[in-house]
Amino acid sequence: MSIILAAAAIAAMGLIVLWPRSASAHCDTEDGPAVAAGRLALETGDPSPALAWVHAEGDAEVREVFALAQRVRALGGEARLVADRLFLETLVRVHRVGEGAGFDGIKPAGRVDPVVVAADRAIESGKLEPLAGLVSPERLPELRARLARALALKDRDVEDVEAGRRWVAAYVSFVKYAEGEEHEHGDASHGPHEAAPEHHRVAHGHPAGALVLAGPER
């Protein structure tokens, strides 16, 4: 019975704090990287991959819900599904709060801006070509620098939370700049809490004369 009550408590935590949805993002989608990290944490029993996606101030909350979720998952069936869902909701909410953004639930897969999809492909390939035609030429030098920073931090010990947070910070910085973010918000040593606050974001339009990439990538 105590475990069932714990499940109810987790559910309540997931419903207490909701904000109007803010600017577009893919960290709150089913196929986004934060949810993927959360699922890995649940399956391995190690919260480290998920903790990389939250700021230090949110660490304790995510750890607590993770521990409760692990206990409830042991019941199997629908209890396991509820525990997984509420852990993932908590993880993404805390991540979004660290960015100064709102949260109103995890969105279905496939609702991702083409620029973000291209940015993810750039991370995977180590080259900017996937973003060709989607960003303006004047953004290229900074975008290349942010990609290099992210790639330098990508390979890491998944159990090293601080290394994970540095990688996430660099990844978010690269993706946000590709989307249209104008301001530099510190170097990659900062965790997810240092991501751009809402009032610093700009519209994600793509200007005329979009970039046609040329030359080798670093």
Task: Indicate the domain borders of the chain.
Answer: 2-98, 114-200
Structure tokens given for 183: 């301001």
> How deeply is 30 buried, as exposed, middle or buried, from its count of CB atoms within 10 A (0-12, 13-18, 19+)?
middle
> What span, in angstroms and rounded, lies between the C-alpha atoms of 71 and 80?
9
- At residue 25, the pLDDT reads 53
Q: What's the Cα-to-Cα distance from 167 to each of 52, 184, 187, rounded to whole Å?
A: 8, 16, 11
> What span, in angstroms and rounded, lies between the C-alpha atoms of 55 and 99?
9
- CA 49 to chain centroid, in Å, comes to 11
H or E element that contains 173: helix 161-179
- CA 75 to chain centroid, in Å, comes to 29
Angle, in degrees to the nearest 10, between helices 2-16 and 77-98: 30
- At residue 168, the pLDDT reads 96
Cβ atoms of 51 and 45 closer than 8 Å:
no
pLDDT tens across the length of the chain (218 residues) = 455 444 444 444 444 333 333 334 578 889 999 999 999 999 999 999 999 999 999 999 999 999 999 999 999 999 999 999 999 999 999 999 988 888 888 888 887 889 999 999 999 999 999 998 899 889 889 999 999 999 999 999 989 999 999 999 999 999 999 998 764 443 443 455 444 333 333 333 333 334 333 333 43
First to last CA, the chain: 57
For the range 12-18, what are the long-range contacts, defined as Cβ-Cβ under 8 Å and sequence gap of 24 or more? 13/65, 13/86, 13/90, 14/85, 14/86, 14/89, 14/90, 14/93, 17/93, 17/97, 17/103, 18/102, 18/103, 18/104, 18/105
User: Which residues have C-beta within 8 Å of that of residue 119, sequence separation ≥ 6?
Assistant: 130, 131, 174, 175, 178, 179
- At residue 159, the pLDDT reads 93
